[in-house]
Amino acid sequence: MKLYEKLAKDIEQQIHKGVYREGDRLKSVRETSKLRQVSITTVLRAYLLLESRGLITSRPQSGFFVSLRHGSGTTIPEALERPKPIAISASVDVSRLVLSTLRTISEGNAVPLGSPYPDPGDFPFDKLSRYAFAAGKDASLRELKNALPPGHPHLLRQIVRRHLEQGLVVDPTEAIITVGATEAINLCLQAVAKPGDLIAVESPTFYAMLHAIERMGMKVVEIPTDPVQGINVDILGQLARELPIAACMVMPNFQNPLGYRMPDERKQALVRLATELDMPIIENGVYNELYYGDKPPSTLKAFDTEGLVLHCSSFSKTLTSVYRIGWALPGRYRDQVEKLKFLNTLTTASIPQVAIAKYLERDGYDHRLRRIRKTYAQQASLMRHAVNRFFPEGTRTSNPEGGYVLWVELPPSIDSMDLYQRALECNITLGPGYMFSVTNSYKNFIRLNYSSPWSREIEQALMTISKIVSNCMR
């Protein structure tokens, strides 16, 4: 099969699966050429082949649109409609510290350098509220039914299309809407492991991963993680051959707190190891859209051919954290995750699903993301330079390639919990390193949030933290 024929076949399959429907505009020839890394001629020939088959049509100055010819014998099934109903039959402990820290962040008007959330000031809440209000007025019994797993077909289609446009071809029936990425992670972990099992994680790791493991009564195996390359695949392989590790949980892109983007070669090596050992990988992709480079990062899911990668994400970091809308692409564990979703929380509210789907369809989400990425990249540079300028000798920082958090290593004598308490007395929050491990490996580390617009207040807060650190060293 020639290259343009393969491209045409891929697009035709997405049309048949309902990812693209009649009237939808395809990516431009130039955009598809860049996305698929093929020549413009190849894309044009593929589009012309699809047009000759009656699947798309060209419109001068507008592009190519899905437009099935009547009598062509081709139909688009409702691939995203809910599957048949489900048959119903009758050591880690960081949560207290995290809960206490989050409460202090949410109370009062402290400088939120310790917040895990992006600054909400730029979220399009007014537009989303209008869509939600309209959906609430028009809500029918069918809309309420669409709250059941896997979720509202409109939002499912938008999610699958976004993955497709970023180079990840997803079966539309695989996606399941969840209450944020947290529920997606919990459901996926519950689907692949049981209480008492060993779960491999990065070290340091995002504490939501540790919460899920704690909740399930499982045990953590921390794997050394390079701040540039990511999790050490060789050490993971050695341990997985010696210990009964049930699954691995990772955040390969813009990991919280390190901010790295795992190179494709290491992602491929990790997936190969998982395939060799038949070991599921739960991939947290909540920061994937917040990249600073020219193109989106690859995912572990893209290299998986055996259905072992369970990809989790949400709109909480890029659109709104209020609605708590996430999703899972659970691979071979899809049916089990859907059943667990139904048994755990029954539904995800349909009105927020409709509101987000409408926004994605109509309101320039990509334009908004481009602006946020540029802003965060600038603020990351400002935060790094400020820390390097104000903090005492021996301080080191990460170099984030996406997201909105900075990982800071302080001199060895500093205890981040003591620093956290002293900063709080000055109305400043920060994330103590203890939250990112089940050991005390990161007692002299802190995480700083730079999503808020840079201001004199933030600069003054960093100077205050620096003074506290210097005083603690005396």
- Could you report the per-residue pLDDT of 298-329, keeping only the tens digit for each? 999 999 999 999 999 999 999 998 899 999 99
How far is Cα of residue 360 from the mean position of the Cα atoms in its chain? 16
- Return mean pLDDT, the chain: 87
352 and 180 in contact (C-beta within 8 Å)? Answer: no
Class of domain 125-362: alpha beta
The reported pLDDT for the residue numbered 89 is: 20
Looking at domain 95-123+367-472, its CATH architecture is Alpha-Beta Complex (3.90)
3-66: in CATH 1.10.10.10: yes
Percent of the chain with pLDDT over 70: 91
Q: Does 407 score more than 70 pLDDT? A: yes
Q: What does the pLDDT read at residue 145?
A: 64
User: For 171-217, what is each residue's pLDDT tens digit?
Assistant: 889 999 999 999 999 999 999 999 999 999 999 999 989 989 988 99
Q: What is the pLDDT of residue 60?
A: 61
Please report the pLDDT score of residue 61 as a whole number: 63
User: What pLDDT was estimated at residue 311?
Assistant: 98
pLDDT tens figures, 384-394? 999 999 999 99
What is the per-residue pLDDT for 385? 92
Domain residue spans of the chain? 3-66, 95-123+367-472, 125-362
Mean pLDDT for the stretch of residues 211-228: 90
Looking at the predicted structure, is the pLDDT value of residue 78 above 50? Answer: no
Mention every residue, 6+ apart, whose C-beta is less than 8 A from residue 205: 222, 225, 249, 251, 436, 437
Tokens of residue 326, six digits: 């996430």
- The amino acid occupying position 204 is P
Higher-confidence position of 84 and 256: 256
- Three-state SS annotation for 1-27: CCHHHHHHHHHHHHHHCCCCCCCCECC
C-beta separation of 267 from 233 below 8 A: no
Q: What pLDDT does 102 receive?
A: 72
CA-to-CA dists, residue 306 to 278, 300, 303, 331, angstroms: 9, 12, 9, 8
Smallest CA-to-CA distance from 281 within 232, 330, 210 is with: 330
Model confidence at 76: pLDDT above 70? no
Q: What percent of the chain has pLDDT over 90?
A: 61
For residue 459, pLDDT over 70 is answered with: yes
Distance (Å, rounded) from C-alpha 35 to C-alpha 82?
30
Q: Which of 61-70, 244-253, 354-363, 416-425 has the lowest mean pLDDT?
A: 61-70
User: Is the pLDDT reported for residue 369 higher than 80?
Assistant: yes
pLDDT digits (tens, 9 = 90+) for 24-59: 888 888 888 888 888 877 887 788 788 777 888 877
For residue 409, pLDDT over 50 is answered with yes
d(Cα 222, Cα 258) in Å, to the nearest integer?
15
What is the pLDDT, as a whole number, of residue 371?
Answer: 94
As given in the structure block, the two tokens for residue 221 are: 């195996």
Bigger pLDDT: 65 or 98?
Answer: 65
Asked if residues 176 and 338 have their Cβ atoms less than 8 Å apart, the reply is yes
pLDDT for 107 equals 63
pLDDT digits (tens, 9 = 90+) for 103-150: 776 666 789 999 999 998 889 999 999 998 888 877 554 555 667 899
Structure tokens at 389: 């300028």
Q: What is the mean pLDDT of residues 352-381?
A: 94
Q: pLDDT-based confidence at 151, cuts 50/70/90?
A: very high
